[in-house]
Structure 1
């Protein structure tokens, strides 16, 4: 949705040029970390108002000719109903794609009891 809103303000030919750029060229430097932080704001009836930060990063761990771009996404949000969620998703390619690692880690603290063995009974 953000991309659609952004492209709505750009002329048709300019918008096409954004996506015509050849990403296979060696413009991406090896071992340089590219990082983009963004604010995260949302609303959900179960969580209430949600605010926090989301960041994406990418790095090339080898020669651009034979190595794919590794990436990671981190988000940390807190809600008006006292719920904290932290997530990390990674995709890592080593030099010459000799090894591939994919990860997903999520940590959450919620204001309600989610586990049946933690509930108090009379």
Structure 2
């Protein structure tokens, strides 16, 4: 009961706290790379401005992936990050199943100086929009 009394008496402080928490959440999300819609990712890939890195497991990757995507499973990323050195000048688009791992990997790549974008909605959204996938 005291909690609700505090909120009603200190509504300005509580509102400020909520606004700051929201700003922090947005800031942390952008540190992992700005989201890229499937349409924007397609444009970047077709204009050869970006390289897709697929973070899913091998079975999900072979079931269907974006053409010319580099497969580096999330669990192996720290050991294999050096494979991306040749693409430092390009935008790296991180693709995972639904966006659950792209944030952590994106923060690592941004710290290393890469231009990073995260595929909005992950490969689930890509498939839902009936965009092309390469099997195998």
Return the TM-score normalized by structure 2.
0.19
Based on CA coordinates, which of the two structures has the bigger radius of gyration? 1
Higher RCO (CA 8 Å, separation ≥ 6 residues): 2
Return the TM-score normalized by structure 1.
0.20
